Amino acid sequence: MRPFSWGAVTLASTALALACVDDVVLPDAEIGAVCGNGALEPGEACDVQSPGCVSCAVLPNWTCRSTGCSPVCGDGVVGSGADCADARRVEPCDMSGYWATREANSTRDAVVGALQSSSNWFLFRFEQDGDSFRVAESLDCGVHVTGTVTVDSTPGTLRSSMYANRMDGADGTRRARRGTSRRAGAGCEVTFERWYKVRGATDAYLPVDFDARPTLASLPPLPSADDPVNDTHVPEGSVDPDGDGIPGTSFRITGFVSGIRNAAQRDWKEYATAPGAPAPASVLTFAIPGSFDLEESVLRVTECESTCGLIASSARAATDLPGSMSFSYIGRALGTPRVDGVVAGPPRANVDDDLTTCANVRLLLPHEGGP
């Protein structure tokens, strides 16, 4: 009898192994640098949205990282070496000059109760006198809210809100907003006083005296609509600042639900460094804690199809969570490379210039809190 052959078993096993087939993904092809895709590729000095990065080249007096660009030395800023390493302000606690700021606060959406992260950007020019400073010029550069849904100013709102609620006192209705900045040890104690704003309603809904620090609940109720989905009447006291023919300030909602929400809003915000925790002195960018409150009355919802009922719900402030205000120093005066790289022209002189300025401000201090 012929003996059993292990060779046959080996041969069969090999045949089976050869018959096994795997999936394969071939390596990605190497492609040339694509400027504007957000990835720093060979041949690009930068690829980031920033006024300091144009055609993927870094402009003079700017330095760029993957997260953004910032202007370097000159106009109140000094540093070391040719590339102005360790850039810092010349006057450690002096707030004079142009600043990009971002107010970061939290709200709760009224449908699912989830936290929303809110950013509100401003361009400020401060004038400091002693330990105090005041707002000399300002632009409100819009809001961006993320969380369960994403909320943005519509283009009309962006244009109209830039000049609303002015804080420079130039319209004569109230004095300029003030703050303090004084040396405290190795840092600076900074405060920015409480300020009230209203959107989508007349200034009659603002407190007569900001210094009295009234609560929002103690003020006259905002204009309201019984049924924001179907009601088309114009509530008394409302205004249409964005010119869309619908009362209230309009915001675009995207994400889980989508549509346009026109609302009347009122808020106050104030900021101050905590006792014993001053802001770092001389730095170009710092943040201080603060608090705020918000009221919203939804007046109309549109372009929302079956989800109108959801976006008709008003957001409310998450007052249990601290807010913050980030400051990014731009420079002292127009006409210098540092300032002209961000501020497209004298504020309030040209709307298109101001829109460009605001876009640059938002790029200097990106929104945080998720997509």
Partner 1 sequence: MRRSVGVVSATLVLGVTARASASPLLDTFGPVGGNAGVQGVVSGPGAASTYFNPAMLSEADDELLLGYAVLSEQIGVTLDGRRGGEVPLVVGDRDVIGADGQPIANDSVPTQWLEQGCPAGTAAGECPSPGFSPRRRQRAGSSGKTRTYLALGIVKPLVKDRLTIGAYGMLPLSSFTTVRGFYNDEREALFSNSLHPELYGDRMTALSAAFGGAFKLLPSLSVGASVGLSLANGVRSTTYVRDTTDYDALLLNNSVSTQIDVSPNVGVRWRPDGAVRFGAVMRPPSSFKLDTAVDAALPSGTESGTRRQETYHYVPWRVGVGAEIDAIRRGRYTLSATASLTYAFWSTYEDRHGQRPSFYGADYAWSDTMSGALGVRHVYGRARGFVDLSFVPSPVPRQTGRSNYVDNDRVGLALGGDVEIQVAGARIRPGLSLFAQRLVPRYVRKDDALVRDELPDDAVLGATRDAVPGARGLQTNNPGWPGFASAGYLWGGTLTLSVPL
> Which of 53, 88, 103, 66 has its CA nearest to residue 365?
103
CB of 31 to partner 1, least distance (A): 5
CB of 167 to partner 1, least distance (A): 22
Question: Based on CB atoms, which residue is closest to partner 1, 34 or 186?
Answer: 34
Question: Based on CB atoms, which residue is closest to partner 1, 322 or 369?
Answer: 369
Question: Based on CB atoms, which residue is closest to partner 1, 47 or 293?
Answer: 47
Tally Cβ neighbours within 10 Å of residue 69: 22
Question: Based on CB atoms, which residue is closest to partner 1, 214 or 369?
Answer: 369
CB of 349 to partner 1, least distance (A): 20
**CA–CA dist 248, 256 (Å, integer):** 23
**Joined tokens for residue 27:** 């390596």
**CA–CA dist 294, 317 (Å, integer):** 5
**CA–CA dist 142, 211 (Å, integer):** 25
CB of 172 to partner 1, least distance (A): 32
CB of 24 to partner 1, least distance (A): 4
State how far the alpha carbon of 284 is from the alpha carbons of 144, 244, 364, in Å. Answer: 23, 39, 11
Question: Based on CB atoms, which residue is closest to partner 1, 104 or 136?
Answer: 104
Question: Based on CB atoms, which residue is closest to partner 1, 190 or 257?
Answer: 257
Question: Based on CB atoms, which residue is closest to partner 1, 107 or 146?
Answer: 146
CB of 335 to partner 1, least distance (A): 26
366 burial (CB, 10 Å; 0-12 / 13-18 / 19+) is middle
Which residues does 9 contact at the CB level (< 8 Å), separation at least 6? none
Tokens 């009234």 identify what position?
214
**Joined tokens for residue 35:** 């400027």
CB of 38 to partner 1, least distance (A): 5
Tokens 């609509």 identify what position?
225
First-to-last C-alpha distance (Å) of the chain: 76
**CA–CA dist 152, 252 (Å, integer):** 5
Tokens 């204009």 identify what position?
223
* β pairing state of 57-58 and 85-89: unpaired
Which residues does 132 contact at the CB level (< 8 Å), separation at least 6? 178, 179, 180
**Alpha carbon of residue 26 to chain centroid:** 41
Question: Based on CB atoms, which residue is closest to partner 1, 153 or 238?
Answer: 153
Residue 329 in contact with residue 79, Cβ under 8 Å? no
Q: Which residues pair with 268 in a beta bridge?
A: 196, 293
CB of 312 to partner 1, least distance (A): 7
Question: Based on CB atoms, which residue is closest to partner 1, 276 or 371?
Answer: 371
CB of 34 to partner 1, least distance (A): 7
Residues found near partner 1 in the complex (CB under 8 A): 19-29, 31, 34, 36-38, 47, 49, 67, 110-114, 117, 142, 144, 146-148, 150, 152-153, 155, 252, 254-255, 258, 306-310, 312-314, 359, 362, 366-371
